[in-house]
Amino acid sequence: MFETAAQAEAREDALRAVADHLPEWRYQAPDEDVRRGHLCGPSGMTILMRPLDGTRWQLTGDLPGTGYHGPRASIQQTWARPPATLAADLTRRLLPDYAEVYDRETARLDAERAEDTQRAADLEAVGAILPMQITDGARFRPNDRPDLRGRWRGPVLPDGFSASLEVRGTIGGRWDLDLHGLTTAQMHAVAQALAATLDAEARPVPAVA
C-alpha cells in the first residue's frame, strides 16, 4: 500500500493519541526491529499496527519469541475516529483475547525454560559420575528446543576396545541412553542396576500410619 509521508505521520499521531487513553500502555516510535509505530504494554505485551489503506489499520497482539504459530488476536479500525473511541474499542475487542493467548503462551514458555534448566542440571549430575562432553542437539527452527546430549568414552581396555555412552535428555523429562562396547561383566552390571531401579519405582509407597 502506498501512502504519502503526511498520511504516515497522521497515522502515527493517531496511534500515539490512542496510547494516551490506554493505562499501562505507551506509544513506541518505529525502530530497526519494527518499522511502524506500535504499542508497548505490561509484561512485554506488544500491539503491532499495519495500515490497510488511507483510513484503516489492523492492530494485532504480538507474541515474540514464543514459537506460537496459531491465530492471533487482531482487529481493524478506522483510525480517523476519536482516540478515546479507538482505545475503548481496542480494550473491548482486542485486549481480552490477546491477554488470554499471551498469558497462556508465556506460561508455556516459562515451563519449557524451567524444564530445559532442569534437564541441563540432571545431565551435569550424570557428568559428575562419568565425565562427558555435553552439547545441544540439532535445532530445525530458531524456536525449537534441542535435545541435550552427553557423550562419554571409557579407557581403552587391553583388548583394544572401550565402552562408550551417549545420553540424550529429551523433552518431557525422559532420557535415551546408547551404550556401546561393553564387556559381558559391564553389560550384566548395567542390566542389574536398571532392573533394581525399575523394581524400586514399581513398589507401592508404604502408607503413613
- Burial of residue 93 (CB within 10 Å: 0-12, 13-18, 19+) is middle
User: What's the pLDDT score for residue 65?
Assistant: 75
Tell whether 69 and 149 lie within a shared domain. no
Same domain, 98 and 140: no
Is the Cβ–Cβ distance between 113 and 88 less than 8 Å?
A: no
The per-residue pLDDT for 117 is: 84
Kindly state whether residue 209 falls inside one of the protein's structural domains: no
Total count of domains within the chain: 2
- Residue predicted with more confidence, 42 or 160: 42
At which residue does the C-alpha cell 568414552 appear?
Answer: 153
pTM comes to 0.71
**Structural domain that includes position 29:** 5-104
Q: What is the DSSP string of 139-163?
A: -SSTTPPPPEEEEEEPPPPTTS---
Listed residue (21, 10, 140, 13) closest to 89, CA to CA:
21
66 occurs within a structural domain:
yes
What local confidence, expressed as pLDDT, does residue 146 receive? 62
Average pLDDT over residues 23-36: 86
Same domain, yes or no, for 37 and 88? yes
Same domain, 94 and 137: no
Average pLDDT of the chain, as a whole number: 85
94 assigned to some structural domain: yes
**Sequence-distant (≥ 6) Cβ neighbours of residue 72 within 8 angstroms:** 60, 61, 62, 63, 98, 101
The pLDDT of residue 1 is 59
* Whether residue 76 sits in one domain with residue 141: no
What mean pLDDT is predicted for residues 15-27? 96
Q: Can you give the pLDDT at residue 109?
A: 87
**What mean pLDDT comes out for the span 90-102?**
96
In a domain, 119, yes or no: no
